[in-house]
Structure 1
Amino acid sequence: MKGKIKGRPDFLLLFLTVLLVCFGLAMVFSASSSIVTFKHESPWYYALRQSIFAFAGLVIMLFFMSIPFPMWKKVAPFLLLMSLLLLVLVLIGGVNINGAKRWFFVGGFTFQPAEFTKLSLIVYLSALISKKGERIRDFKKGVLPLLVMVGFILLLIMMQPDFGTVLILFFISSTLIVIGGIDLRHLFMLSLGLVPIFIYLAFSKSYRLQRISSFLNPFDDQSGSGYQLIQSFYALAHGGFTGTGFGRSVQKLFYLPEAHTDFIFAVIGEEFGFVGTSLLVFVFFLFLWRGFTAAIRSNDPFGVMLGMGIVTMIFIQFLLNLGAVTGSLPITGVPLPFISYGGSSLILCMASTGILLSISRDNNRRWQERNNNSQEMK
């Protein structure tokens, strides 16, 4: 009887995911339909492509939800090896867009290996750290091998270059290592050593320096480095408290660059105002709370690590995107999870959510088994 029990997934988490994706499809259409006709015949061009990504993501999410999450521990080395191979290949034969080689062009679509690397690194670190147990407190045998492996991956991504993904992977890795039980003295020493490295990376390239200067005072160069952020301010200010209404954004009409990708939150703010953006933020935090709950309720250390890594990934991307759009953080080119146009990011987020749903199914299965056992005892 016990073997036949299949736990139910967290339906609230599943509903919130579908809700975010559907809202994202509507906003991609709104943000792109007015200007896309100058490049393509149909105003539905980006929305239809995003719908294809969403359908693929839904299939993958439901498939991953049905797979027992411990299976990922077995394939973790293979996933990491595949990621490393793709990161090397994209530097050799990837598509160069605006000076960056981050994408493969396949069948009319682009694929970004760095997005796949986020999930494969989470799986691998979760498997390795949960296996190490208390040995993680030993710097040479526990932490150092992890740092070497993560550092090599970050180096490959910096060569693309993609500083935003480097930041995300850094925060994910740090979170998992801290959850794994690293000695706080080692953490403090590592932090001191990494600060000058990140300062150098931030100031070593002129375009990154421009992003920092435009973040500090965008109005110093209103037609140059500060232009995008200023247009985002205008969009959010124009939206006011209740917004202009769906489809009635002005800034998306050739004023705000990347309106349907990295800066789609500004269009949401203009069309739905403070009320709409607050509701969206609430839905995101409700999603993160359900994901966090699923992770910490797992009785498997690997499940806890895996779930926390996924929640951290989505939270950091959400935070970096909102920070960039509102001028609270420098622009890093990180998309808004589930909302921004882009197949690699959307499929990654939905696939990762499928794993969270698998963890929640296991939690509910155990609860149901305990409940059945207690009833049999009576």
Structure 2
Amino acid sequence: MSKQKKREKSSLLALDPKCDKYINWAVMLLLLIGTFTIVSTNVGKTTYAPDIVKTVVFKQCVFMICGYIAMLFMNKMFRFGWYSALEILIIPICLFIMVLPFAFPEIGGSHAWIQIGSISLQPSEFAKPFIIIICATCLYRAKKKTSMLKDKGKLFKRAWIVFICICIIIFCQKDIGTLVIISFTFLSCIMIPKYPVLQHMQRRLKFLVYAVIIAVVALFGFTNIGSEVLKSTPFAHIAVRVENFKDPYTDVYGDGYQPANSLYGIASSNIVGKGIGNSARKYGYLTQADNDYILAVLIEETGVFGLLGIVILYGIIEYRLFYYAFKTSEDMYKVILGGTGVYLFMHFFLNAGGVACLIPFTGVPLLFISSGGTSVISIMLTMGLAQNCICSIRRKEMDRLS
């Protein structure tokens, strides 16, 4: 095989050279940290499952390979042109897949998973990048058909319809954490463009968001009115999580067992941590040690420095995403990059806040770190989409300078 053919073959498996390398390195390091932490948390299960570590390593490698393929596809193959032409078929297929979890048993209080043997898939995870793409595609169509910018309700009409359908499905699945993330991601996407036709709607949405936040804080934070109402509904598990957030030690051996042990683990880290692999809470105290509560184990083992490292890596990704979002004049790129930044931030905020009992626990994973193939593939797909936009921005900049 000639050197040229070898280079062509290797380039098929490599991301576009115009990608932002800081983002790539940060993503790679987060995945490595996540893999080591997942393996560490599962060591505690070897007493009754001797091969658990081998199984976990194999699964995690498969998830990362699938995630890289998704990232590579979006980075090199995604184009607004072909997606816009096929969207009329893609949307109903995606919505149908999101409905499938209702045919499977409830897990953790939510009908959000498709269980196939030992593998669990959460279709709603893909709704996060999906809604970002739909919003950006609306702007792509408006660029081709400027009449969409004259009618107040036309620009994001399709995006609103899909968003409402997704919200209804996820609400019925009782997955409030995912609903919050998708809602904030969608709202951020439609707040980014500065067209005159959108200004009235954007002002009303800002007021509505502030009103909802104040109402939630008043009903659940300063009073127990919201919790008491929820106790007599199918969302009683949310009332329990709110009570645990207010005082996780009221029922340490009951509903407050996990949040209390999460705090015990964080408090016992003694700033510098107990050392990698030396967590005590992973031995049965935290049943979701490799997923929802993985940050508590990571802090227990690596201390404040481990948390600081995670925050820095997330910060690098966020900074680079918004750097390019402010740099470009293309609204559809701004929406992709800004929406991706909000998606990533909301996951970190809800997971870290829930683990530290600073906000009610929502059960959303810590992206790149928590176990779970669906969340890994979803965020890698989104990062590939963001890199696709970054490559286009950098090429246009080079063309302008040449």
Q: Normalized against structure 2, the TM-score is what?
A: 0.83
SS at 1:320 equivalent: helix
Q: Which residue of 2 aligns with 1:191?
A: 209
263, 270, 292: which one aligns with 2:300: 270
Q: Which residue of 1 aligns with 2:112?
A: 102
Q: Is residue 293 from structure 1 mapped to residue 323 from structure 2 by the alignment?
A: yes
Q: Is residue 43 from structure 1 mapped to residue 53 from structure 2 by the alignment?
A: yes
Q: Which residue of 1 aligns with 2:162?
A: 149
CA contact (8 A) 1:36 1:45 kept: no
Q: Which residue of 1 aligns with 2:137?
A: 127
Deviates more, 1:131-140 or 1:314-323: 131-140
373, 393, 398: which one aligns with 1:343: 373
CA distance in 2, matches of 1:152, 1:175: 18
21, 26, 40: which one aligns with 1:11: 21
81, 89, 92: which one aligns with 1:81: 92
Q: Which residue of 2 aligns with 1:376?
A: none
Cα deviation for residue 318 of structure 1 reads 1.0
Give the letter for the 1:81 counterpart.
P
176, 185, 191: which one aligns with 1:163: 176
Q: Which residue of 1 aligns with 2:189?
A: 176
Percent identity between matched residues is 26
202, 211, 220: which one aligns with 2:241: 211
Q: Which residue of 2 aligns with 1:56?
A: 66
CA distance in 2, matches of 1:307, 1:289: 11
SS at 1:105 equivalent: strand
Deviations 1:222-252 (Å, cap 9, x if unpaired)?
A: 2222221111111111112111111000111
Q: Which residue of 1 aligns with 2:347?
A: 317
CA contact (8 A) 2:132 2:185 kept: yes
CA gap 1:36/1:355 in 2 versus in 1, 3 angstroms: farther
CA distance in 1, matches of 2:246, 2:48: 34
Give the letter for the 1:70 counterpart.
F
CA distance in 2, matches of 1:56, 1:215: 36
Q: Is residue 70 from structure 1 mapped to residue 80 from structure 2 by the alignment?
A: yes
Give the letter for the 1:313 counterpart.
Y
CA distance in 2, matches of 1:77, 1:140: 19
CA contact (8 A) 2:367 2:379 kept: yes
Give the letter for the 2:34 counterpart.
G
Deviations 1:12-61 (Å, cap 9, x if unpaired)?
A: 11111111111111110001122155246332322321111011111221
Deviates more, 1:94-103 or 1:114-123: 94-103
CA distance in 2, matches of 1:172, 1:210: 26
CA distance in 2, matches of 1:219, 1:137: 56
Question: Structure 1: which 5+ runs fail to align?
Answer: 1-5, 374-378
CA distance in 2, matches of 1:145, 1:66: 26
Give the letter for the 1:165 counterpart.
T
SS at 2:113 equivalent: strand
CA contact (8 A) 1:211 1:331 kept: yes
327, 347, 350: which one aligns with 2:357: 327
CA gap 1:231/1:40 in 2 versus in 1, 3 angstroms: same
Cα deviation for residue 188 of structure 1 reads 4.4
Deviates more, 1:80-89 or 1:201-210: 201-210
286, 289, 309: which one aligns with 1:256: 286
CA gap 1:8/1:191 in 2 versus in 1, 3 angstroms: closer
Q: Which residue of 1 aligns with 2:122?
A: 112
CA gap 1:279/1:350 in 2 versus in 1, 3 angstroms: same
Q: Which residue of 1 aligns with 2:333?
A: 303
Deviations 1:268-322 (Å, cap 9, x if unpaired)?
A: 1000001111111111111111122233333422111112112211111111101
CA contact (8 A) 1:137 1:143 kept: no
Give the letter for the 1:220 counterpart.
T
CA gap 1:79/1:285 in 2 versus in 1, 3 angstroms: farther
Question: Structure 2: which 5+ runs fail to align?
Answer: 1-15, 220-225
SS at 1:110 equivalent: strand
CA distance in 1, matches of 2:354, 2:269: 18
CA contact (8 A) 1:136 1:143 kept: no
Give the letter for the 2:125 counterpart.
E
Give the letter for the 2:166 counterpart.
I
CA gap 1:40/1:150 in 2 versus in 1, 3 angstroms: farther
CA contact (8 A) 1:321 1:336 kept: yes
CA RMSD, 1 decimal: 2.7
Cα deviation for residue 138 of structure 1 reads 6.5
CA contact (8 A) 2:74 2:388 kept: yes
Cα deviation for residue 350 of structure 1 reads 0.9
